[in-house]
């Protein structure tokens, strides 16, 4: 099968990795961003419906499977309530992994992943920020009223792997496999939220199309519940994750 050709409504990877994922049953969302150039069909390997918003489309110019998601110019992806990825709060085990490419142009937020099945009280946000020439990575968990941030070294225009994980006791963040030192911070609850899934932005209804959009590219997104993928520095994958 030729990479990028859609068979049976599902994009086909160029060369799926050997072996399988022992925690595949724990995966609640996995997107590979494969497909033909310009396509607006985005597929979750676990079967959830994904909607393209704005100019979001497949770009067949980069990525592990020969393609990636182009989420520039304020575009983003959305989905409904997905029970399999709810409840990412302190005290539970989970992982969110995103491979993304961002080029900064001024100070702003760059949303990676947001999910809120109740539209507010359980909102989970994972995003990047540039401020005063420094780059930060944030996790906010409305459900447990906790939030963390850390600084990291960003490389413009290059795919980087971002992971947030919890083993049920400790929340960690990794950038390209290196652990980021985190600090807790106080935050203000937002007045309005998106209900459901957002990819490439975070869920503040008032500005998620502008100041919170990724304005970049995403190649892999995997959310695992009940298991922390990594609890120590690791070597990021150089091929797509297994989808079985």
Q: What is the CATH number of the domain that holds 160?
A: 2.60.120.200
| 122 falls within a domain | yes
| pLDDT on residue 217 | 97
For residue 58, the model assigns a pLDDT of 98
pTM, rounded to two decimals: 0.89
Q: Is residue 157 part of a domain?
A: yes
The answer to whether residue 99 sits within a structural domain is: yes
Cβ–Cβ under 8 Å, residues 116 and 196:
yes
**Is 50 among the domain residues?**
yes
Please count the structural domains in the chain: 1
Q: Is residue 19 part of a domain?
A: no
Compute the distance between CA of residue 195 and CA of residue 114 in angstroms, rounded to an integer: 10
What is the residue range of 144's domain? 29-225
Taking CA 173 as the corner, what is the angle to CA 221 and CA 152, rounded to the nearest 5 degrees?
100
Contact, 218 vs 62, CB < 8 A?
no
Instruction: Express each pLDDT in 180-226 by its tens digit.
Output: 999 998 776 655 667 899 999 987 655 555 668 899 999 999 999 99
Describe the strand order of the beta sheet including 51-53 as a list of residue ranges.
51-53, 76-79, 196-199, 108-116, 124-131, 134-141, 146-152, 183-184
Q: Report phi then psi at 52, rounded to 5.
A: -85, 135
Convert the pLDDT of each residue in 75-96 to its tens digit: 999 999 999 998 887 789 999 9
**More confident of the two residues 117 and 8:** 117
- The answer to whether residue 235 sits within a structural domain is no
pLDDT at residue 130 is higher than 80: yes
Q: Does residue 16 lie within any of the structural domains?
A: no
Percent of the chain surpassing pLDDT 90: 68
Parallel/antiparallel/unpaired status of strands 160-167 and 93-102? antiparallel
Residue 34 lies in a domain: yes
Q: Which residues contact 144 (CB under 8 A, 6 or more apart)?
A: 89, 90, 91
Q: Is 128 exposed, middle or buried (0-12, 13-18, 19+ CB in 10 A)?
A: buried
């Amino acid at each position: 099968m030729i990479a990028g050709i859609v068979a049976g409504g599902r994009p086909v990877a160029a060369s799926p990795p050997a072996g399988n994922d022992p925690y595949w049953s724990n995966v609640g969302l996995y997107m590979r961003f494969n497909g033909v150039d310009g396509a607006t069909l985005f597929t979750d390997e676990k079967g959830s419906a994904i909607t393209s918003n704005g100019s979001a489309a497949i770009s067949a110019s980069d990525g592990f499977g020969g393609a990636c998601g182009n989420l520039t110019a304020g575009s983003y992806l959305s989905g409904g309530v997905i029970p399999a990825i709810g409840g990412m709060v302190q005290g539970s085990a989970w992982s969110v992994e995103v491979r993304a490419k961002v080029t900064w142009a001024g100070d702003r937020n760059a949303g990676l992943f947001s999910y809120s099945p109740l539209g507010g009280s359980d909102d989970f946000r994972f995003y990047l920020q540039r401020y005063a020439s420094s780059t930060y990575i944030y996790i906010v968990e409305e459900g447990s009223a906790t939030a963390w941030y850390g600084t990291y070294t960003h490389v413009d225009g290059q795919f980087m792997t971002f992971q947030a994980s919890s083993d049920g006791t400790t929340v960690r963040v990794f950038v390209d496999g290196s652990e980021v030192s985190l600090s807790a911070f106080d935050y203000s609850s937002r007045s309005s939220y998106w209900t459901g899934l957002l990819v490439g932005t975070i869920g503040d209804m008032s500005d998620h199309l502008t100041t919170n959009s990724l304005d970049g590219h995403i190649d892999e997104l995997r959310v695992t519940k009940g298991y922390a993928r990594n609890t120590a520095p690791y070597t990021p994958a150089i091929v797509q994750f297994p989808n079985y």
